[in-house]
Amino acid sequence: MTNSSTRLLPTALFVAALAPRLTYLFEHRDSPFFDAPVVDARTFLDKAQLIAGGEIWGGGDPYWQPPLYIYLLAFFCWLLPTSYFIGIRLLQSALGAMSCVLVYLLARRAFGERVGRIAGGLSAVCGSFLYFEGELLAVPVEIALNLLLLHQLCTALQEDRRRDWILAGVIAGLAALARPNILLFTAVFCIWMFWQSRRDAEPTPRRRVIWFLLPTLLVILPVTWRNWATEPDLVFISSNGGINFYIGNNVDYERTVSLHPGMQWEQMAMEPVNAGHETAAAKSSFFLHKGLAHIIAKPFDFFGRTLEKGFHLWSGPEIKRNQNIYYAREHSRILSILLWDWHLSVPFGLIGPLSLLGLWLSIRKREQPIALLRLYAACYMVSVLLFFPVARYRMPVLPVLIVFAAFGLWSLYLSMREQPWHRTAKLAVPLGCLLVLLNLTRAESMANDAQLWFDLGEVHLRKGDYALTERHSLQALALEPDYNYARHNLAVAHFQQKHYQDGEREALATLAKNPLRTDTRILLARIYLDTQKPRAAATYLQQALEREPASGPANYYYGRLLYGQRKFAAAVPYLRKAANGTPRDFWLRYELGRALQQAGQHNEAIVAYKKALTLERRPEALVAIGALHLIAGREQKARAQFDLALGLDTENLEAHINLAFIDMQNGHYNKTIARLRAVQGGQRASAQAQKLLDEAYRRQRAN
């Protein structure tokens, strides 16, 4: 093996790993979830769009989720406002390919070139990597940063230079901002360094620990300070740790770990609020203490549950957290080859047993890179077991397990080639047993996954395909009749298809099961508005506003109701609340301007229209401003606004009529008649234009 080929291999591996990722990305575009993320991915995107829209601190509450990925996604939303779905996935594919190179480099450091090549090849075609690199989740960023940290720590241990330790600390801090699990490894690694120095009679590594830990803390502290500034209670990175700990450590573990967005989740999330806790840190501590209380009260149950979670952690199937991973195979040929669960789960059903073999064979090896990888694998596995072992949370340890799997595979090959068969059997038989044991369980069937059908209904609802929303929501309800969110979506689908009686029936059934739902009350109000029942609509909107005074939709539709009843002044405060709650919406500002105009507050109406124009240059707002200038006698300013409107839309009827009126008032009857005849000759003729045209002819004859 030449040095030149070794130097070229990382580049070749990067290209080889990128090819299947780009292929999957191309195929994944056909998935309904590609441009309509759900659950956590949607939460990430909503927060990222808020930041990209100018709210740089991401709102007024402590971060619920670790913020690094959110800000990365926000950067792409700002940089590529029309194509960020592709842009962020291209970056994640590149990070995935880079991670394959890092796996190769780590394996080569630990076990040599041959094992490095096997590990790099396995990671390049690992289907679960491809899946998560195609989702709007932090997983590919977590993996890349953790591998960079391990690679940098290997360099720091070897070279023992200050700059290497500082750089490792910076990477550790960034990795913690992507997923705080890495902090357990960071702490144990520092203890391990002290233990190593004592065992090998080396000088105390105090300076190395300081050089490593100080940058880590300096990277994290700005996030802690920001959380403290929003709420005077300590949230180190994010506040979702407590509830996640409780989900994985309670007497009703099977139920809580399988909860999906819905009534039961809401009821659980409201427990600390009902107990009087208001801050994010207090809510998280409530769940943390509740989980710890269960462990203390029932230690044997905790021990048994940990063994059960450990088995699932090492099992082959990809256990879903929010989405059924195997659904992605429906829209990708390459993923259907590289990711499946049928008798044998690929890839983890192979990598898990092989990695256990590799870990066992490496147990006596004391080289620092191998010990470091073992330490990382153990710490990360423990950090996952403290919560719950789903595929998304075990992904950051998978690259290191691939390194040990490659070593186990290479050792098995060498044994078959060089040793008697009975010695090879000592490796093959345990491996075979592990392959059987860790592939005994199966992932949840897509056909029986109520949340999958709900998610599909939710996505098609957002895309305006209400017939598919209805069908998928009915499938979710057939599997889970009390799925409150699915029934609400079914009601929305009926409403959008103008099946008002069906929509009313399903909405009332939704509200009967979950009286706290504000959105269902608003939906019922919209049904009654469309069916000319304003009193019923007003009742439900008032109830919604009593429960949630800041609700943008409730304020908007109540303002619209009052506007329709010609109570313009009364409509203004509700429409203003709706506009302030959604500051980037042109039409909310425009409708607020109309209400102000009708209420006689012309100057404030102009301000509202101008704010709408800062969001989107539309002729409607320009015409409205021009009309107000015309009413006030500011003819030149009015004409300028109408001309600008025609610059955006040359056939804008209102602008033409107003300009014709100005010409007529100034005695330019020929210009008035020519403009109005052109308007009336088109497809947008109007009675108002005809009336003005008749008046222009009358005045022309009179003169």
What confidence tier does 194 reach under pLDDT thresholds 50, 70, 90? confident
Is the pLDDT assigned to residue 2 strictly greater than 60? no
Is the pLDDT assigned to residue 199 strictly greater than 70? no
Residue 199, Cβ density class (10 Å: 0-12 exposed, 13-18 middle, ≥19 buried): exposed
- Which tokens belong to 261? 């967005």
At 446 the pLDDT is: 87
Measure the CA–CA gap between 209 and 206, rounded to whole angstroms: 5
CATH class of 625-703: mainly alpha
* Exposure of 79 in the CB half-sphere (CA atoms within 13 A): 11
The answer to whether the beta carbons of residues 518 and 552 sit under 8 Å apart is no
What percent of the chain clears pLDDT 70, i.e. is strictly above it? 98
Measure the CA–CA gap between 426 and 570, rounded to whole angstroms: 83
- Which tokens belong to 527? 């049904």
Measure the CA–CA gap between 382 and 390, rounded to whole angstroms: 13
DSSP state of 205: -
Is the pLDDT assigned to residue 171 strictly greater than 90? yes
CB-based contacts of 599: which residues, under 8 Å, 6+ apart? 568, 569, 571, 572
Q: What are phi and psi of 32, to 5 degrees?
A: -65, -20
pLDDT in tens, 13-55: 999 999 999 999 999 999 999 999 998 999 999 999 999 988 8
Rounded to 10 degrees, what is the CA torsion of 668, 672, 673, 674?
100
pLDDT in tens, 578-623: 998 888 789 999 999 999 999 999 999 999 999 999 999 999 999 9
Helix (H) or strand (E) holding 691: helix 687-702
Residue 501, Cβ density class (10 Å: 0-12 exposed, 13-18 middle, ≥19 buried): exposed
What three-state secondary structure class fits 694?
A: helix
- Which tokens belong to 277? 């806790």
- Pick the closest to residue 21 from 73, 96, 84 (CA basis): 96
What three-state secondary structure class fits 346?
A: strand
**Amino acid letter, 14:** F
Instruction: Give the residue-averaged pLDDT of 230-243.
Output: 91
Measure the CA–CA gap between 83 and 522, rounded to whole angstroms: 32
At 7 the pLDDT is: 74
- Which tokens belong to 85? 């779905």
Q: What is the largest CA-CA distance in the chain?
A: 118
**Amino acid letter, 259:** L
Neighbours of 559 (CB within 10 A): 27
At 8 the pLDDT is: 86
Give the residues across from 345 on adjacent strands.
341
Domain boundaries, the chain: 3-437, 625-703
pLDDT in tens, 678-689: 877 655 567 888
Q: Is the peptide bond before 67 cis (omega within 30 degrees of 0)?
A: no
Could you identify the residue written with the tokens 């691939």? 402
In the predicted model, what is the mean pLDDT of the chain?
92
